Amino acid sequence: MIEKFGSLLSADAANYEKAVRDLENKNFNGLHFDVMDGHFVRNFAFNATIIASLRKLTNMVFNTHLEIENPEQYLDMFIDAGSNMITIHPQACGNLERALRYLKAKGILSSIALDPDINIKQIIKYLPLADNIIVMSVYPGFGEQKFIESSFEKIKEIKKIIKTGNFNISISVDGSINNETEKKVINCGADILIYGSSIFRK
Q: How far apart are CA 53 and CA 31, in angstroms?
A: 13
80 is catalytic: no
User: Residue 67: CB partners within 8 Å, gap ≥ 6?
Assistant: 34, 35, 36, 37, 40, 41, 89, 92, 113, 140, 141
Residue 198 per-residue DSSP state: H
| Other CB atoms within 10 A of residue 3 CB | 15
Of 101, 145, 104, nearest in space to 7 by CA: 145
Q: Which of 12, 80, 174, 191 is catalytic?
A: 174
174 is catalytic: yes
Q: Catalytic pick from 12, 22, 34, 117?
A: 34
What residues are annotated to the active site? 34, 174
